[in-house]
Amino acid sequence: MDYNWFFSAVAQSFAAIVGIFGAFIISKYLNFEKDIFDFILRAKVLISKCKFFRDKLKIVNYTAMYNKDLQYFQFLVTKWLDGTHEDNHFDIINTYYHYVKYLTYEVLKNDYESYKKDQDKKNYFKNIGFSYDESQKESRNLLTSELINVKEIIRNVKNEWENKRIFLNTKRFLNGFIVFLMAMLLFGVILPLLFLPYQKEIKFLFLQDSSLFPSIILFIVTSIILTGLIIFTNQINRTHSKAKNIIREMEKYTELSYFHQGYENNKGILMEFKNHIKDKPSLQNKYEKLLKEIDIWED
């Protein structure tokens, strides 16, 4: 029994389906490429703004305090608030002043100065160069005034940064669809062609007067298409890598500390301060103004 007509029909049918799906995936890729192009333009604008704010805040001289030192300072402040501090705590807090600077310190300075006056009577701080530099207010105002702008741009960066999931899922979809097309080419077009004899022409199903290209020609054309799909896959990955590089650069701008380490240190201290007094009404009343100021530091 002659099955040439069957294999010929199968090969042509799958070739048509591959053509339709191929047009779909090309359209999908063009949209993918446009989305990434638009994303890169927006990302570059955001990165430029981030660099502007970061450079602007560089004039604020700051020595960062990390991990154990920061935790120890928080511990001393909470001891101070509880009224369970020891005399040497003030000395230590004063020593840490050049780290913590003017943000937290300014809020509590009245308490510190009052305590210092009491201790001065005992000559306890006779050799301690305690001072509060009012000129620091300009730098403090710069940090606090730009905080809202910095947090806003961080939110924008994070929103754009979330596109990484969309781009990754689209890339996986496109690559998966190409694998599906390759399978259709191999098993739906090439495999049926292998069962056809290499004759000059083959009668096609119901169209007895119609002729087909020789099978070898179809095989070559299909192979070219298969190679094109492999190249297309590589192009998809290259397009995604462009977005991936920008996303990697954007990641560092999702943290306050990258704009200025003083933001991160003081945010940690102020949050610790707020958590410590949240169940202490007397302290909440005393530091009501501070609690309102702390709100702008919260995410």
DSSP state for residue 195 in the 8-state scheme: T
Contact (Cβ atoms closer than 8 angstroms) between residue 256 and residue 150: yes
Per-residue pLDDT 10s for the chain (299 aa) are 456 667 777 777 887 888 888 888 888 888 988 998 999 899 989 999 999 988 888 777 655 555 555 566 666 666 666 666 565 666 666 565 554 444 455 555 556 666 566 655 554 444 444 344 455 556 666 777 788 888 888 888 888 888 888 888 889 898 898 888 888 888 887 777 677 665 545 454 444 444 444 555 666 776 777 788 888 888 888 888 888 888 888 888 888 878 877 777 667 667 777 777 777 777 777 677 667 767 766 66
How much is the pLDDT for 125? 41
Helix (H, G, I), strand (E, B) or coil at 204: strand
Q: Which amino acid is at 177?
A: F
Helix (H, G, I), strand (E, B) or coil at 207: strand
The reported pTM is 0.62
How much is the pLDDT for 71? 62
Pairwise CA distance, residues 279 & 129, whole Å:
35
Phi and psi torsions of 207, nearest 5°: -95, 80
How much is the pLDDT for 130? 39
Contact (Cβ atoms closer than 8 angstroms) between residue 237 and residue 171: yes
Contact (Cβ atoms closer than 8 angstroms) between residue 175 and residue 190: no
Q: And the tokens for 251? A: 């990641």
User: What's the alpha-carbon Rg for the chain, to the nearest Å?
Assistant: 35
Q: Please list the residues that pair with 204 across neighbouring strands.
A: 207
DSSP state for residue 297 in the 8-state scheme: G
**Residue 23 vs residues 20, 131, 210: alpha-carbon distances, Å:** 5, 74, 26
Element (H, E) at 38: helix 4-57
3-state SS of the chain: helix, strand, coil percent to 5? 80, 0, 20
Closest CA to 284 of 73, 292, 265: 292
Q: Please list the residues that pair with 207 across neighbouring strands.
A: 204
Q: And the tokens for 87? A: 């005399």
How much is the pLDDT for 210? 45
